[in-house]
Structure 1
Amino acid sequence: MERARITGILLAAGRGRRFDPLGQRNKLLQPIDGEAVVVHSARHLLAAVPRVVAVVRPGEEGVAARLAALGCEVAVCAEADCGMAASLVHALRHAAEAQGWIVALGDMPHVRPTTIAALVRAVEEGADIAVPVYENERGNPVAFGRRHLPQLLALSGDRGARGIVRDNIVNEVAVDDPGILLDIDTPPDLQ
């Protein structure tokens, strides 16, 4: 399977209410090491896969512009408020021809490109689902092979693909990357 056939999906359409309950500061645009959180997440994904579909919510032109400038295909999801599954399904419809997908989160800027590349290899080598594991704990992103596309497209609500991962055989990929467990949920997480 050629690398171009594995597509990255960057979910960047959440409201981030735990970060800012009033909705005045988008956590994805907050700086870490001089760049927005979402820029780090996208760069790491783009370093491992040639194509990334980034899902944003309507009205988030700042996030969309940064992602487009990096080379991501930006897909605006009008149903983003329906939950993470709506954003994932929206992205999958834009990349349904791929042979597999790496589903990454825009608020996880510390995931290393080498981890993402290891997940790509796992799918290329036949894994239907691959998850990274650091010190016996599963994290993100998650990779899916084409076999699960019908199940992924049928998702709804805010649970994303968690149930698919729970109910199927998963290839655990051991990584030396604590970033798979670190997301930006609150302002102290930016430190």
Structure 2
Amino acid sequence: RDVIPAAIEGIGGAIAHFGMPVDPGNLLLIGSASGVPVLGAPGCARSPVENGFDWVLMRLLAGLEVTRQDITGLGVGGLLMEIVTRPQPRLPVADGNRDVAAIILAAGRSTRMGGPNKLLAELNGKALVRIVAERVLASKASSVIVVTGHQADKVEAALHGLKVRVVHNPDFAEGLASSVKAGIAAVPASADGAVVCLGDMPLIDSELLDRLIAAFAPDRGSLIAVPVSDGRRGNPVLWSRRFFAELMTLDGDIGARHLIAKHSEAVAEVPVEGRGAFLDIDTPQALEQAQRG
């Protein structure tokens, strides 16, 4: 008596089979009307991830008959790849606060600065990287990892006394991706996700990080939290552990923006004001402007 099977019967058609022993896609229906195959699409048909609906649709488009026996035979494989916005059915979803680690990328060579290491440049008597680390430490992040590379000893000295874990990236010259991977690899196993921060963004604050952590809700499909202003996405970005494997495949000096686009259905946009999520100190001019306030 559901709307699709009722409609098929209402126009004189027939239902061959309703239901499929594969998840996602278990509400699929096949039938016919006036000699034309009819496919009742479950909600997973909207997903870009391959699922049971795709298996049946591909056969129909190839002109192959899909029978009841074909559908029941698909159950041999059990579960297909999960849709990122759905919790793993085999894993319990914990209630309460999320355990989110923070990663600060501080390994770059500051090539656009023309020589000096921008992370060691001072604002109000403090190195940029220390300002960022202190603000991240003041947030609700459960732990803070700093990835070093270029002039690692000097960067670590600038962080002296702070409760951070320093991880050295020996491959820092290969680009940003190598530092992201070094940071992700160091995230504690207990963490549900990690917020990736840039060490040259001194205007980010603990409130911004806490808002990203609050927007992170895997049980509601919010697996990536991104600050947004006027349609523009900034940094830092919070990633669910579910994406760690993909982050570990990054290469070169390109970040993970393409993964945000790929998993757009899992993105929670957090509205922000001001320049904090967009200002990074890349050039002498930007540093001079920041020093002037």
Q: Give your verdict on TM over 0.5.
A: yes
Q: CA offsets, 1:11-53, max 9 Å, x none?
A: 0001111012xx3x11001011221111111111111113111
Hey, what does 1:93 align to over in structure 2? 185
Alpha-carbon separation, structure 2, partners of 1:10 and 1:3? 22
Q: Does residue 64 of structure 1 match 2:156?
A: yes
Q: Does residue 180 of structure 1 match 2:277?
A: yes
> Alignment partner of 1:158: what SS?
coil
* Alpha-carbon distance change, 59 to 19 in structure 1, aligned in 2, over 3 angstroms: closer
Q: Does residue 27 of structure 1 match 2:118?
A: yes
- Work out which of the two has the higher radius of gyration on C-alpha atoms and give 1 or 2: 2
Q: Does residue 160 of structure 1 match 2:160?
A: no
Deviation at 1:136, TM superposition (A): 2.8
Alpha-carbon separation, structure 2, partners of 1:81 and 1:136? 32
Q: 1:40 aligns with which of 118, 125, 131?
A: 131
Unaligned runs of 5+ in 2: 1-93
Hey, what does 2:243 align to over in structure 1? 148
Q: What fraction of aligned residue pairs are identical, expressed as a percent?
A: 37
> Alignment partner of 1:180: what SS?
coil
TM-score when normalising by structure 2: 0.61
Alpha-carbon separation, structure 2, partners of 1:90 and 1:132? 23
> Alignment partner of 1:90: what SS?
helix
Query: How many pairs does the alignment contain?
Result: 188
Q: Does residue 171 of structure 1 match 2:268?
A: yes
Alpha-carbon separation, structure 1, partners of 2:122 and 2:151? 20
Q: Does residue 105 of structure 1 match 2:198?
A: yes
Higher alpha-carbon deviation: 170-179 or 120-129: 120-129
Deviation at 1:5, TM superposition (A): 2.0
Alpha-carbon separation, structure 1, partners of 2:144 and 2:113? 25
RMSD: 1.7
Hey, what does 1:130 align to over in structure 2? 225
* Alpha-carbon distance change, 180 to 43 in structure 1, aligned in 2, over 3 angstroms: same
Unaligned runs of 5+ in 1: none
* Alpha-carbon distance change, 51 to 26 in structure 1, aligned in 2, over 3 angstroms: same
Aligned residue type for 1:155: L
> Alignment partner of 2:185: what SS?
helix
Aligned residue type for 2:131: H
Would the aligned equivalents of 1:4 and 1:51 in 2 still touch at CA under 8 Å? no
* Alpha-carbon distance change, 179 to 36 in structure 1, aligned in 2, over 3 angstroms: same
> Alignment partner of 1:181: what SS?
coil
Aligned residue type for 1:33: N
Alpha-carbon separation, structure 1, partners of 2:281 and 2:243? 28
Larger RCO of the pair (alpha carbons < 8 Å, separation 6+): 1
Higher alpha-carbon deviation: 70-79 or 41-50: 41-50
